[in-house]
């Protein structure tokens, strides 16, 4: 299983080897042993989540405050999304930097996001998208936090016209990067 490092330390793109023929295809979407050997990460995943969203739906940018942070391995089962992460780790050389990647059922790529990142995605495909991800820590609602998707400091290009982006009322209440990071770092 090829895990390709990204410019953000500890973040990997997984590009599976797909066996395809006239019958269809097969690939191993996850193998704990191979994952650990390739990345050096030994923390097991404890929760799987699955969602479906329509075109233009924005989910994020979400995180959980320390010590309840979650690492995630995310992928798309149908459709296409733009997946975006933000480095929140206070001592990281890439603090406040973003990374984005198109994940789709067609490219079958997965993104490993370590603890200490905010994460969000927007659906790019007209037919919607099914999104699945593994977490290495349980959901802790009292410790959830996040950054408003249109934060001017981060200035993320979501690749969907702003008037077509659909955001939940809960996510519209998320803080700016500056507000959230002060709260987040206080938890360290």
pLDDT at 186: 75
Structure tokens belonging to residue 135: 């977490």
Chain length of the chain: 188
CB contact set of 57 (below 8 Å; sequence gap of 6+) = 122, 123, 128, 166
pLDDT at 102: 98
**Residue 57 carries which DSSP code?**
E
The radius of gyration of the chain from alpha carbons, rounded to an integer in Å, stands at: 16
Cα 71 to Cα 59: distance, rounded to the nearest angstrom: 17
Domain that holds residue 51: 3-186
Q: How many domains does the chain have?
A: 1
Q: Between the CA of residue 79 and those of 5, 22, 117, 168, what are the distances in Å?
A: 24, 22, 24, 20
Residue 52, number of CB atoms within 10 A of its CB: 13
Cα 139 to Cα 134: distance, rounded to the nearest angstrom: 11
What are the tens digits of pLDDT across the range 24-77? 989 888 888 988 988 888 989 999 999 999 999 999 999 999 999 999 999 999
Catalytically active residues, by annotation:
62, 133
**Residue 46 carries which DSSP code?**
-
The CATH code of the domain that includes 128 is 2.60.120.10
What are the tens digits of pLDDT across the range 125-183? 999 999 999 999 999 999 999 999 999 999 999 999 999 999 999 999 999 999 998 87
Cα 34 to Cα 17: distance, rounded to the nearest angstrom: 13
């Amino acid at each position: 299983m090829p895990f390709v490092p990204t410019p953000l330390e500890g973040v990997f793109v997984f590009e599976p080897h797909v066996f395809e023929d006239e019958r269809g295809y097969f690939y191993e979407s996850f193998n704990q042993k191979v994952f650990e050997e390739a990345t050096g990460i030994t923390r097991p995943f404890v929760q799987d989540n699955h969602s479906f969203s329509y075109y233009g739906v924005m989910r994020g940018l979400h995180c959980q405050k320390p010590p309840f942070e979650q690492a995630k391995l995310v992928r798309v089962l149908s459709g296409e999304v733009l997946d975006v992460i933000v480095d929140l780790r206070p001592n990281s050389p890439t603090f406040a930097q973003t990374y984005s990647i198109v994940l789709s059922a067609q490219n079958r790529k997965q993104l490993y996001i370590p603890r200490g990142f905010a994460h969000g995605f927007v659906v790019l495909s007209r037919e919607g998208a099914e999104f699945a991800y593994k977490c290495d820590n349980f959901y802790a609602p009292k410790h959830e936090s996040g950054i408003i998707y249109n934060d001017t400091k981060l200035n993320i290009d979501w690749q969907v016209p702003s008037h077509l982006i659909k955001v939940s009322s809960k996510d519209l209440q998320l803080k700016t990067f500056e507000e959230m990071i002060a709260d987040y770092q206080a938890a360290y």
